[in-house]
């Protein structure tokens, strides 16, 4: 099934013409050259992002050979979406587009420090703290309602997940007895790991996950596309059901899918780009209108805006702390 689908995606990508003329303001889509320019700007602004060449056999010739995709590694993810406290502005900013498919910008404020309209904040330092505080108060009640709903959703999903058998079976580790000849003398200079104390239990217990985050160029949708690879606190790869715990409930299993990474022979969670163009167009318009400045949004700022947009999908993956305002 999946391989048929992948072949179809492959052919579809092959047949799609490479976008030549810039129309990012009209459509929210970008050309490969614009992707490269925006990537260069991102790497310049946030040096934890870097370009990679990926699998030599999977190079796309419309992209620079050493600049096939972007990656940032070891991004901390300290809490699951369901654990997030709804203390600050969690307004659902509906990005209007064609009816039912509209993206919901939930917790858009969570990571970027302001609603989506203030995305310009990365370029525009002005912050109206008072207005923000007022808005926070207004949405607090609404957010609490939401929290309950999310718990319920989670409970439902937990049941679904129980039987999907995706979790690696730890019994498969070779018998520990085989290794009991391995003993190291107690070493006073080795710091012992911190044992979790009673105080750490409950809400405070932290499963520190880390993510490697990739951005590729999707030739069919003519937009960037984000991919996630997660690890648990023991550095074991996360399976899809675990990754969905870090995706806003509005998107989990709807727009986040598991597909083959275009530059690695591996399947990763990806935020499906089918609506990216339309949403990016709306965001760019909004930023331009709100700023009301002479200087319009530049295409090299595209990925910075894109990452703010993605923060609403994966609110707990804190790559944003690397982006200097």
Catalytic residues: 274
Binding of another protein by 50 (CB under 8 A): yes
Quick check: 40 binds another protein (CB under 8 A)? no
Q: What is the rounded distance in angstroms from the CA atom of residue 86 to the CA atom of residue 218?
A: 34
Examine residue 111 and tell whether it contacts another protein (CB under 8 A): yes
Q: Is 76 in the site for another protein (CB under 8 A)?
A: yes
Going across the sheet that includes 69-77, the strands are 50-52, 69-77, 209-218, 223-231, 267-271, 256-260
**122 vs 118: CA distance, rounded Å:** 8
Distances (CA, A) of 252 to 7, 116, 187: 24, 20, 46
Determine contact, residues 315/146, Cβ cutoff 8 Å.
no
Residues that contact another protein, how many (by CB under 8 A): 72
98 binds another protein (CB under 8 A): no
Closest separation between CB of residue 95 and another protein, Å?
Answer: 22
Determine if 197 is a binding residue for another protein (CB under 8 A). Answer: no
Nearest to 78 by CA among 235, 205, 252: 205
The nearest distance, CB 101 to another protein, in angstroms, is 16
Please select the residue that binds another protein; options are 162, 237, 293, 325, rule is CB under 8 A.
237
Stretch that binds another protein, among 33-41, 121-129, 204-212, 217-225 (CB under 8 A): 204-212
Rg value, the chain, Cα: 22
Which of residues 10, 47, 196, 296 is near another protein by CB under 8 A? 47
Specify the stretch interacting with another protein by CB under 8 A; choose among 29-37, 51-59, 96-104, 297-305: 51-59
Q: Is 315 in the site for another protein (CB under 8 A)?
A: yes
The residues that bridge with 270 in the sheet, in sequence order, are 227, 257
Does 127 help bind another protein (rule: CB under 8 A)?
A: no
> Beta-carbon neighbour count of residue 191 at 10 Å?
6
- Per-residue contact flags (x/-) with another protein for residues 245 to 274, judged by CB under 8 A: --------x---xx-----xxxxx------
Q: Does 188 bind another protein (CB under 8 A)?
A: yes
Q: Rounded to an integer, what distance in angstroms lies between the CA atom of residue 59 and that of residue 243?
A: 27
Nearer of residues 110 and 286 to another protein, judged by Cβ: 110
> Cβ 323 to another protein, closest distance in Å?
9
How far are the Cα atoms of 59, 158, 281 from residue 56, in angstroms, in the given order?
A: 6, 40, 33
Structural element, H or E, at residue 2:
helix 2-15
Task: Please pick, from the candidates 15, 100, 131, 176, the single residue that binds another protein as defined by CB under 8 A.
Answer: 176
Instruction: Give 72's strand partners.
Output: 213
The four Cα atoms 212, 269, 207, 157 give a dihedral, to 10 degrees, of: 170
Q: In the set 129, 130, 163, 184, which binds another protein (CB under 8 A)? A: 184
Q: Which residue's CB is nearer to another protein, number 193 or number 202?
A: 193
Is 219 a residue that touches another protein (CB under 8 A)? Answer: no
């Amino acid at each position: 099934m999946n391989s048929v689908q992948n072949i179809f995606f492959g052919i579809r990508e092959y047949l799609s013409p490479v976008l030549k003329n810039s129309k990012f303001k009209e459509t929210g889509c970008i050309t490969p050259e614009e992707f490269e320019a925006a990537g260069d700007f991102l790497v310049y602004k946030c040096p934890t992002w870097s370009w990679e060449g990926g699998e030599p056999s999977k190079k796309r010739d419309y992209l620079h050979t050493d600049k096939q995709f972007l990656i940032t590694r070891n991004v901390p993810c300290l809490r699951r979406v369901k654990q997030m406290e709804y203390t600050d502005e969690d307004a659902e900013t509906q990005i209007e587009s064609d009816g039912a498919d509209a993206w919901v910008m939930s917790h858009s404020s969570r990571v970027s420090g302001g609603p989506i309209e203030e995305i310009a904040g990365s370029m525009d330092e002005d912050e109206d703290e008072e207005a923000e505080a007022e808005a926070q108060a207004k949405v607090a009640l609404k957010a609490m309602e939401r929290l309950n709903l999310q718990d319920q959703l989670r409970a439902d999903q937990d049941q679904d997940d129980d039987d999907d058998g995706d979790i690696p079976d730890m019994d498969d580790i070779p018998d520990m007895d085989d290794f009991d000849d391995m003993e190291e003398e107690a070493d006073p200079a080795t710091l012992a790991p911190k044992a979790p104390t009673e105080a750490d239990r409950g809400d405070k217990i932290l499963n520190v996950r880390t993510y490697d985050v990739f951005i590729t160029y999707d030739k069919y949708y003519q937009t960037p596309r984000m991919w996630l690879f997660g690890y648990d606190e023991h550095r074991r790869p996360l399976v899809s059901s675990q990754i969905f715990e870090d995706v806003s409930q509005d998107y989990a299993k709807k727009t986040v899918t598991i597909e083959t990474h275009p530059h690695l022979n591996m399947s990763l969670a990806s935020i499906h780009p089918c609506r990216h163009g339309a949403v990016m167009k709306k965001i760019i318009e909004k930023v331009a209108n709100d700023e009301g400045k002479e200087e319009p949004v530049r295409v090299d700022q595209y990925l910075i805006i894109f990452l703010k947009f993605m923060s609403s999908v994966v609110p707990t993956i804190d790559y944003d702390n690397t982006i200097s305002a």
